[in-house]
Amino acid sequence: MSKTIDPITLAVLAGRMEQIADEMDATLFRAAFNPIIAEAHDASHGIYHAASGDTLVQGKSGLPIFVGVMSFAVKAVIDKAAEAVDLKDGDIYIFNDAHMGGTHLSDMRLVRPYFRDGELFCYLASVGHWHDVGGAVPGNYNPSATEAFQEAFILPPVKLSRAGEIQQDIIDILMRNTRLPQSAMGDLNGQLGALDLGVKRLDELLDEYGSETVSSALEALGDRAEALMRSELEGLPNGRWEATDFLDNDGITDVALPIKVAVEISDDTMTLDFEGTALRTAGPVNIALPTAVATAYVAIKHIFPDLPANAGVMRPIKVKVPEGSLLSAEFPAPVGGYTETILRMIDVIFSATAKAAPDRVVANAYGTINALSIAGKKKNGQRWVMFSFYGGGHGGSAESDGLNHGNAPISTATIPPMEILEAAYPVMFRQWALRPDSAGAGAQRGGLGAVYEIELLEEQAEAFLFGERGRFPPEGVAGGKSAAMNVFAFEQEDGWKHPPLASKMLGIKLKKGQAVRLETPGGGGYGQPSERDPAAVAHDVSEGYLTEDAATATYGPAWKDTQT
């Protein structure tokens, strides 16, 4: 029977445990060699239930998608340990198998049991996006992959540490399966350091408050999260609302792929039903079931921002994913482009919810991370791989215009700065700017996308793009209009070219002085454009966000009357 916790103690313990996860995040960000972790913060840490693997606490600086998905990763370790009847203090499991732990093979997961007085108390976990984990394409975003083996080296849950003793054989295997072993080793050591810190901070917390009190607090936090979620749902109307959007294609066949959801609210429960979504595809836009469930959680967190990062939030919510769909792909289906699919899931959840409670949601964000890799060898023979993701506009809301040049709604990561990328790789940015006329029109317009033009400074290299929104624009809500679509181009001797599949291509040969260019989508608009304040339109024109012709065509000539 759990111990009753007074509200003040519960609040103090909740803050202390969140601080542990936050400090683990910060430790890895400062130690990682890889800019995707060190600068973009594509990583996460948390505390997880000893029996179920449910998320108890997660750091606020890591990616939200990991809140839900890491519970599946921890559960995979729990099942592996139970099967082997072999779990000791000081053990650390490592793996990247996305069909067990969600997301994609670039995300390396470390899971460590935490023992107190000889008894398993909880799990600590660290996940980080490694720069390269083998596979056919440097950086691992292979738009033409038809099975997971073509995306990266696949590691099931294995013990990196046994009772505190690091297994060098496992490290040797990992380092042999990456193009960038120095980067991988630096990231691995950073993750191990974060886990060590988590153990130290939990020891201090339990020394101060005792195991029973902290355990009871964790249980109470889950119950409170559930109660808060039910209360939020009771404030919404009962009913069923649907929305459908599309992926451009799967990277293999140029056929649009529907993502469909029905949002149903009944008193204090919600169902998200994805029946009608496209079947599993040959190409790598599939996702595993853990990823689909975690994405639903991320969308819910956006719609109800005051809810805590705790698995209790999902107790009143049922996520129905049809078997055989691209949202429940089984091994060895390729899943490298998971980011594009989960962004479309969030879009349709927002669009459906807007029909029930438009004040709760924002219009669609730009909807693609535009995973761009440029790779080659320097004159000294050293291999280099520049992998990064790129920003775009966020959707307008009932309260304000959308954010210009933000990162995707699946993350709190930052876009790696141009100066960091230019310092690390033989490239030069000819342009890094906002994209005029890219925002969706509305009473509150969407945010602007961006223009990136990247020139190669080495003699030769290859570029690879895995993007989306090249055929279907980010949609507005509540009468708002769609934003501009994604445009990618690459320079060749006879001029600029575009990918046949619009948003995906591999093996683009570049010579010194040639460039690639991304023009990323804006965000959808919110509310009828006719309701936008003409002075706001005039301001957008004066700032260069809108050209005069586009302003007049979209909003009418009234904005000109506000100019002085």
Arithmetic mean of pLDDT, 5-11: 89
- CB 216, CB 210: distance < 8 Å: no
Q: Is the pLDDT of residue 3 over 80?
A: no
Model confidence at 130: pLDDT above 70: yes
pTM: 0.92
**Domain residue ranges in the chain:** 7-226, 362-532
CA 270 to CA 202: how far, in whole Å? 35
Confidence (pLDDT) at 412: 64
**Do residues 297 and 388 lie in contact, with contact meaning Cβ atoms separated by under 8 Å?**
no
Beta strands in 221-333 (DSSP E): 239-247, 257-266, 269-273, 317-320
Backbone angles phi, psi at 222, to 5 degrees: -65, -45
Radius of gyration (Cα) for the chain, nearest Å?
Answer: 24
* Residue bearing the bigger pLDDT, 410 or 369: 369
Residue of 424 and 486 predicted with greater confidence:
486
pLDDT at 551: 94
Mean pLDDT, to the nearest integer, of 304-333? 91
Q: What confidence category does residue 414 fall into, taking pLDDT thresholds of 50, 70 and 90?
A: confident
Q: How far apart are CA 414 and CA 40, in angstroms?
A: 4
Whole-number average pLDDT of the chain: 93
430 neighbors 454 (Cβ within 8 angstroms): yes
Residue 271 above 60 pLDDT? yes
DSSP single-letter state for residue 252 = S
pLDDT score, position 1 = 47
Q: Are 78 and 178 in contact (CB under 8 A)?
A: no
The tokens describing 353, both together, are: 């919810």
Peptide bond into 332 cis (omega under 30): yes
Residue range 310-322: average pLDDT?
A: 92
User: Of 28, 70, 20, 61, which Cα lies nearest the Cα of 413?
Assistant: 61
Q: Identity (one letter) of the amino acid at 270?
A: M
Q: Residue 550 has which token pair?
A: 């586009």
pLDDT tens-digit readout, 330-341: 999 999 999 999
Q: What digits encode the pLDDT tens for the residues 216-264? A: 999 999 999 999 999 999 999 999 999 999 999 999 999 999 999 999 9
* DSSP assignment letter at 525: P
**Distances, alpha carbon 496 to alpha carbons 370, 386, 463, 491, in Å:** 19, 21, 14, 4
Instruction: Place 303 in a pLDDT band, splitting at 50, 70 and 90.
Output: very high
Per residue in 504-559, pLDDT tens?
998 999 999 999 999 999 999 999 999 999 999 999 999 999 999 999 999 999 88
pLDDT digits (tens, 9 = 90+) for 379-401: 888 889 898 889 999 999 999 99
C-alpha distance across the termini of the chain, in Å: 72
CA 80 – CA 266 distance, rounded (Å) = 38
